[in-house]
Amino acid sequence: MLKNKYPYYLANKPQQPNSDLEVTDKFTGEVATRVAMADAKAIDLAIAKAVEAVEPMRKMPAYSRQNVLNYCADRFKEREEELAYSLCVEAGKPIKDSRAEVGRLIDTFRIAAEESVRVIGEVMTLDISPRAKGYTGMWKRVPIGPCSFISPFNFPLNLAAHKIAPAIAAGCPFVLKPASKTPLGALIIGEVLAETELPLGAFSILPCHREGADLFTTDERFKLLSFTGSPSVGWDLKKRAGKKKGGFRTGG
């Protein structure tokens, strides 16, 4: 059920400059398929395209973002067994657990679709004393901008989905680095996203070696870094992330 090779996704488009990353079958130890690896030049271009996509994503109507997310959920349901099988191979999970994780992927996109049309604000009274008579205030939520996502090996679908789906719901372009050991789930998500009407540059999914992924952490064009992984790596990334906001989920 796996393809012989998988491209990465740069600015919504599949690219196959190489097939350097071997994905092994965790049950047999044999190479199951090969995946394209991104270099620093590709990562830099993906970030530049995400910056260009900020305004188109911001202007994308809420119902359009909802349609994208619901479309993805439907397609994941159609490809449920393919996604589950890929988890069995790349992560070594039993089929029952793999199917459960696909279910969580679908649920996450469904919930994000519901929330995409509920990005609300508030009007507040400010006349708490005579000097503020007649004053009111208001606030609304706005997309933060390009997001950097780094997802781990242990839940390749679920934890990638928890980053991707909310970003689309909020109107934020993103660049995702999936774990090198388990990139297939994220790339299949990318394949489905590429079928949608997301603006060019709205997403990139780029497997790469950890030592070549420094831009995911340090590049100031990113406005948010979301990382899930080990505490030691998370604390190091936090120190090097600069002024960007961060969401760090670590074990231990």
CATH classification of the domain holding 232: 3.40.605.10
Q: Are strands 21-24 and 31-35 parallel, antiparallel or unpaired?
A: antiparallel
Match 């372009």 to its residue by tokens: 173
To the nearest 5 percent, what fractions of the chain are helix, strand and coil? 45, 20, 35
Residue 125 in domain: no
- Per the structure, the complete domain to which residue 220 belongs is given by 8-117+144-250
Mean pLDDT of 134-153: 94
Whether 131 is in a domain gets the answer: no
Task: Return d(Cα 219, Cα 51) in angstroms, integer.
Answer: 12
Q: d(Cα 28, Cα 89) in Å, to the nearest integer?
A: 9
In a domain, 34, yes or no: yes
| Mean pLDDT confidence for 205-222 | 89
In a domain, residue 13? The reply is yes
Domain membership flag for residue 1: no
pLDDT given for residue 6 in this prediction: 97
Mean of the per-residue pLDDT values of the chain? 93
Model pLDDT, residue 115: 96
Q: How far is CA 121 from CA 9, 118, 140, 172, 198, in A?
A: 34, 9, 4, 18, 24
Beta bridge partners of 148: 175, 225
Domain membership flag for residue 231: yes
Q: For 53-57, 223-227, 243-247, which range has the lowest pLDDT when averaged over its residues?
A: 243-247
Residue 132 forms part of a structural domain: no
Whether residue 125 has pLDDT greater than 50: yes
Residue 70 to residue 74: CA distance in whole angstroms: 6
pLDDT given for residue 213 in this prediction: 81
Residue 167 is assigned to a structural domain of this protein = yes
Domain total for the chain?
1
Alpha carbon 126 to chain centroid, angstroms: 39
Contact 234, 242 (CB under 8 A): no
Distance CA 171, CA 61 (A): 9
pLDDT exceeds cutoff 90 at 62: yes
pLDDT of 99 > 80? The answer is yes
